Amino acid sequence: MRILFTFSGGNGHFQPLVPLARAAVEAGHEVAVTGRPKVMPMVRSAGFTGFPSGGDGRTITEIVALEALDLDREERAFRNGFAGRMARERAADVTILCQDWQPDLLICDETDFGAMIAAVKLGLPHATVITLAAGSFVRPDLIGDTLDAVRAEYGLPPDPQLRMVSEHAVLVPFPPGYRDPAFALPSDALFFRPATAAVSTADTARPLVYLTLGTIFNVESGDLFPRAIAAASSLPVDVIVTTGADLDPAALGAYPANVEAHRYVDQAELLSRCQAVISHAGSGSVLGALAHGVPMVLLPMGADQPSNAHRCHDLGAAIVLDALTVTPGAIAAALNEVLTRPSYRDSARAMAAAFAALPEASSVLPRLEDLLKLR
């Protein structure tokens, strides 16, 4: 079987696909991955054949001002970007790629609507991997009309209930207890364990803290990096900062002695040694922390980050702060709280146990193979 894995965003949209892609390769299937041109080095470094598709959008290499959190603005950005411009670009490119590479099946990140449209147009079965873990954006009332306009360009009828996203198979790389109950998953969704599910066994003598603001919002964060670095470095901890591929760590100036900065680190390896995370609450960051049982201080700036932060707070595994107004002192106090109050660690480890109890990614392969009967 030839399987094309597709994703529309950055690393947070790619990593949930990786366990499935590796399981498919181990089972003897032929696998390729397609995403934005700028992420192809990441795909190829993970060991997969990579095909670029769609556009990269804007590239920002210097930090711009942090804006106040505005959920209406974030919903408009998702609708116009993922369901509009990106869906249109990716439908065109993925259609051509499928005609050339001839996959039997597509496995799409849940926001890669263009790839789904290409699959429907070509009569190819497709499965969807949930990448916006808490839910909130993939809603008919928000994106239905925008997607229908793109579908019409391919001669496809309206899809007012977004059946395209879930009609064949929905695959979920996190425990059901993480999902916001307001955004229920299909009753036949298949859950699988991410490759990073392992509890941190870090020594408590000198805590290690991981600070990340992701790979998109890192350059839209204003002075949040300096505030968070000042906060973490004021405590008796060691800090590892990742700035993202588009941002030179040197752009943030000199670092305190207990802080080291990199563009990128292996998140799974680092989290296995961490005792706390400070992050923007992106899905990849929070799910990675929870899979390792690491409590968090969360500074949501936009996209699905407020939803993730809300879930982590409700689960008792994180403290949530206002990214725009929070002071270094408040971040330091919150970090000290999650490091010293056992309830945060215990709640995070309870989620880690739920991750570890999920079936391996290979368990969903029989269902994917059954989808070939739909052709």
Judge if 215 and 334 occupy the same domain. Answer: yes
Q: Token pair 């992050």 is at which residue? A: 279
| Count of structural domains within the chain | 2
Residue 43 lies in a domain: yes
Residue 176 lies in a domain: yes
Closest CA to 349 of 29, 131, 357: 357
Closest CA to 66 of 284, 228, 268, 209: 228
Report yes or no: 155 and 174 within 8 Å, Cβ to Cβ: no
Side-chain half-sphere of 105: how many Cα atoms within 13 Å?
24
pLDDT of 102: 97
Side-chain half-sphere of 13: how many Cα atoms within 13 Å?
24
Residue 217 and residue 63: Cα distance in Å, rounded? Answer: 9
Judge if 245 and 269 occupy the same domain. Answer: yes
Beta-bridge partner residues of 210:
240, 277
The H or E element that residue 330 is part of is helix 328-340
Residue 200 lies in a domain: no
Judge if 352 and 362 occupy the same domain. Answer: no
Judge if 212 and 159 occupy the same domain. Answer: no
Report yes or no: 4 and 101 within 8 Å, Cβ to Cβ: yes
Judge if 70 and 187 occupy the same domain. Answer: yes
Structure tokens at 1: 């079987």
pLDDT of 294: 97
Residue 75: count other Cβ atoms within 10 Å of its Cβ: 17
pLDDT of 196: 62
Closest CA to 212 of 263, 287, 268, 254: 263
The parent domain of residue 98 ranges over 2-193+358-374
Judge if 338 and 243 occupy the same domain. Answer: yes
Residue 51 lies in a domain: yes
pLDDT of 202: 61
Residue 199 lies in a domain: no
pLDDT of 204: 59
Residue 370 lies in a domain: yes
Judge if 159 and 67 occupy the same domain. Answer: yes
Residue 293 lies in a domain: yes
Query: Is the pTM higher than 0.95?
Result: no
Side chain identity at 191, as an amino acid letter?
F
Judge if 329 and 370 occupy the same domain. Answer: no
Residue 116: count other Cβ atoms within 10 Å of its Cβ: 30
Residue 216 lies in a domain: yes
pLDDT in tens, the chain (375 residues): 999 999 998 888 999 999 999 999 999 999 999 999 988 998 999 999 999 999 887 666 678 888 998 999 999 999 999 999 999 999 999 999 999 999 999 999 999 999 999 999 999 999 999 999 998 899 999 999 999 999 999 999 999 999 999 999 999 999 999 999 999 999 999 999 987 655 666 655 789 999 999 877 777 888 999 999 999 999 999 999 999 877 889 988 899 999 999 998 888 889 999 999 999 999 989 999 999 999 999 999 998 999 999 999 999 999 999 999 999 999 999 999 999 999 999 999 999 999 999 999 999 999 999 998 876
Beta-bridge partner residues of 238:
208
Judge if 183 and 37 occupy the same domain. Answer: yes
pLDDT of 59: 64
Beta-bridge partner residues of 240:
210, 260
Judge if 53 and 128 occupy the same domain. Answer: yes
* E-state strands within 80-167: 105-109, 126-129
Q: Token pair 């920002």 is at which residue? A: 60
Strands 238-242 and 259-262: parallel
Judge if 55 and 180 occupy the same domain. Answer: yes
Q: At what angle do helices 113-122 and 86-101 cross, to 10 degrees?
A: 40
CATH number of the domain within which 332 lies: 3.40.50.2000
Judge if 189 and 301 occupy the same domain. Answer: no
